[in-house]
Amino acid sequence: MTSKGARALAPGLEALAAIADRTARVREDPVELPHRYRERADIEVAALLSAALAYGRVGLFKPKIEGLLAAMAPSPAEFVRRLDVGGARRLLEGFVYRFNVGTDVAVLLMGMGAALRAEGSLEAWFAEALELEGDLRAALFGFTRRLREAAPLPKLRKALGPERGLDHLLPRKPGPGAAKRLLLFLRWMVRGPDGVDFGLWRSVPSSALVIPLDTHVRRVARRLGLTSRRDLGWRTAEEITASLRWVDAADPVRFDFALCHHGMSGACPVRPVPSLCEVCPVRGSCRVGRRRRPGDGAPGPARPGLTRQASRFMNGP
C-alpha cells in the first residue's frame, strides 16, 4: 500500500474501530479471560495461557482455558509460582485439546512459574530475549525457549506421559508461520490500556509490534489492499503491518481487534453480502465492497446468526 492509499483508508479504519462494540466483542475473544484479573502477574499468566491455546473455534478452546483458570483460582500467578510436578499431574492428567496434552500445558505453566519466581514478571524474560536477539521475531522464540528450558520436562513426561504438541504451544524456532498466538499475547501486553489491550509492558514500543495474522484479518486486509499475499505466513503479517504503519506509525496494530472482529462477527463474510457492504465504513477502499450494490450477486438468504453477529459488531448486543 502506498502512503496515498493509506491516507484514503485511514478515515474508514478509524470509523471501523469506532463502531465496533468492544464490550460485546471482547466476550467473543480470548482476551476476555485475562480481563477477569486485576493483578499484573495474574493478567500475564492468564493472558499467555489464553493466547497459547487460542486456536480452533472459540467455543471449543475457551471452556478448556476457563476450566484451567478455575482450578488455578484465586490467583493464577501464585498457582504457577508454587506448581510442582505433582500439582501439574493433578491439574492436567487427562487434559487434551486438539494438538495439545497435559504435558505440553504443564511445561508452559511451570515455565511461567520459574519466570515469576526469578523476576516477578514475564516481561523481564521477554525483554532479555529482545535485547539479546535484537529482533522481535527472534525474541518471541527466545522467550518460548527459555520457558521450555525452565520446566522439568523429563519429570513431567514420567508423571503425565510424553508431550504431543509442545512445539505448537511453545515453538523453539521461527518457521514460515505468522506466530499469531505469540503476537496476540504481545499485543495484549504492550498496547493500551484501552479496554481490550492491557498496556502492562514498557520494554517493547507499540511501533515495533506485528499484527497477529489469522484468516479473518487476512481476508479483510486483502480486500482493503493492505496486502497482496494470500498465505498466512510471517511475510504477510509484516506486509499488512507495514501498510498500517502508513496510517499510524506509532501504533500500527491498533486496528487489529477491529479488523479481526469485522471478519469474525460476520460483518465481512467470505462470501460478500451486498447489504453488509452497503453500510461498511471501509467500503470505499474495499476492492469487493465498492463494486457491490443491493441485489448484486444473488447471495441468497442471509443466515440469521450471521446477521445478528454483524449487527452486534456495529451496534452492540
Q: Are residues 12 and 47 in the same domain?
A: no
Residue 228 has pLDDT above 70, yes or no: yes
Residue 295 has pLDDT above 90, yes or no: no
Sign of the torsion formed by the C-alpha atoms of 118, 123, 124 and 130: positive
Q: Which amino acid is at 70?
A: A
Q: Give the model's confidence band at 296: pLDDT under 50 very low, under 70 low, under 90 confident, else very high.
A: low
Residue 83 has pLDDT above 60, yes or no: yes
pLDDT, average across residues 164-181: 95
Give bridge partners of residue 97 from the DSSP assignment.
100
**Domain at 298, CATH number:** 1.10.1670.10
In a domain, 198, yes or no: no
CB 142 within 8 A of CB 173: no
Return the pLDDT at 300.
41
Return the pLDDT at 23.
86
Tens-place pLDDT, residues 109-141: 999 999 999 999 999 999 999 999 999 999 999
In a domain, 189, yes or no: no
Return the pLDDT at 29.
94
Residue 199 has pLDDT above 90, yes or no: yes
Q: Are residues 157 and 247 in the same domain?
A: no
Return the pLDDT at 306.
46
- How buried is residue 77: exposed, middle or buried, by Cβ count under 10 Å (0-12/13-18/19+)? buried
Q: Give the model's confidence band at 21: pLDDT under 50 very low, under 70 low, under 90 confident, else very high.
A: confident
CB 269 within 8 A of CB 276: yes
Q: Give the model's confidence band at 304: pLDDT under 50 very low, under 70 low, under 90 confident, else very high.
A: very low
pLDDT, average across residues 184-208: 97
Spatial CA neighbour of 163 closest among 112, 238, 102, 211: 102
Torsions phi, psi for 94 (to 5 deg): 85, -5
What is the DSSP secondary structure assignment for residue 289, as one 8-state letter? G
In a domain, 74, yes or no: yes
The label of the residue with cell 444473488 reads 298
CB 241 within 8 A of CB 250: no
Residue 258 has pLDDT above 50, yes or no: yes
Q: Are residues 169 and 260 in the same domain?
A: no
The crossing angle, in degrees rounded to 10, of helices 136-150 and 123-133 is 130
Q: State the CB neighbour count (10 A cutoff) for residue 141.
A: 19
Residue 313 has pLDDT above 90, yes or no: no
CB 242 within 8 A of CB 207: no
In a domain, 47, yes or no: yes
Spatial CA neighbour of 32 closest among 1, 62, 71, 52: 62
Q: Give the model's confidence band at 237: pLDDT under 50 very low, under 70 low, under 90 confident, else very high.
A: very high
pLDDT, average across residues 153-174: 97
Q: Are residues 317 and 247 in the same domain?
A: yes
Return the pLDDT at 294.
53
Return the pLDDT at 303.
44
Domain span including residue 140? 33-173
What contacts 51, CB < 8 A, 6 or more positions away?
30, 181, 182, 184, 185, 188
Return the pLDDT at 257.
95
Alpha carbon dihedral 134, 137, 138, 142, in 10-degree steps, equals: 110
Q: Are residues 106 and 52 in the same domain?
A: yes
Q: Give the model's confidence band at 98: pLDDT under 50 very low, under 70 low, under 90 confident, else very high.
A: very high
Q: How far apart are alpha carbons 307 and 267 in whole angstroms?
A: 8
Range of lowest pLDDT (16-20, 95-99, 209-213)? 16-20
pLDDT, average across residues 79-101: 98
Q: Are residues 67 and 166 in the same domain?
A: yes
Percent of the chain scored above 90 by pLDDT? 85
Number of structural domains the chain divides into? 2
- Confidence (pTM): 0.91
Q: Are residues 41 and 100 in the same domain?
A: yes
pLDDT, average across residues 29-45: 97
Q: How far apart are alpha carbons 6 and 23 in whole angstroms?
A: 28
Q: Are residues 165 and 225 in the same domain?
A: no
